[in-house]
Amino acid sequence: MTFSSTALRLWDISPPVYAGAPVFPGDTPYQQRWAASIGPGCPVNVSEIKLSPHVGAHADAPLHYDADGASIGDLDLTPFLGTCRVIHVIARGPLIEWSQIAHALADLPPRVLVRTYEHAPVDRWDGDLAAYAPATIERLAALGVLLVGIDTASIDPANSKTLDSHQVIRRLNLRVLENLVLDDVPEGDYELIALPLKLVSADASPVRAVLRQLPQ
């Protein structure tokens, strides 16, 4: 198989998933064992994995923050696939405020990913993670945004018990991606591809999130 030299560039915006990958305190870490190994009488390797669906890059379902919400397997995939904008708000404080993204809102596509880290901490938990201000999500939704994403583990502060931004997402029926890696992605517009698995009763799903260069 050959590929054209004009193939559109891809950015893998998913962190590595491995034993020891950081998870929210108290969440189930990634674990793997070999259920079968190549050897006499066995022609294949088969692994068994155990993990929270919030390990690595992931999509939350309404069920995660709403007792009566839809599971991830019941969601329409449309918000997870299509044009998006990456906006940089690097090391600007605990909450992403409207004033910090206002420079990048002209002709906004329906998906917004915000980069807050210079280098995403893929090897450790960050309890001081940046999150969205609820009012910012409200105003993005008013502009037609269907999905918001972030390069931290949550759109709410790590110590939040009220999950105010998640509750805005619930009320406005938006979708969310968390734990992305946007270190190498310039500000601008891309095609987002970040489809969740069809886990019919789960509150979230891992995704292999990528951005693709838009045709010129």
| Catalytic residue positions, numbered | 64
Q: Euclidean distance between the first and final Cα of the chain, in Å?
A: 24
**Angle 108-181-95 (CA atoms, 0-180°, nearest 5)?**
65
Adjacent-strand bridge partners of 178: 58
How remote is the C-alpha of 102 from its chain's centroid? 22
CB neighbours (10 Å) of residue 92?
15
163 to 22, 66, 115, 132, 175: CA distances (angstroms): 21, 11, 20, 11, 15
Distances 185 to 12, 31, 47, 182 between C-alpha atoms, Å: 9, 30, 33, 5
User: Which of 194, 203, 163 is closest to 64 using CA atoms?
Assistant: 203
Mode of pairing for the β-strands spanning 175-178 and 147-150: parallel
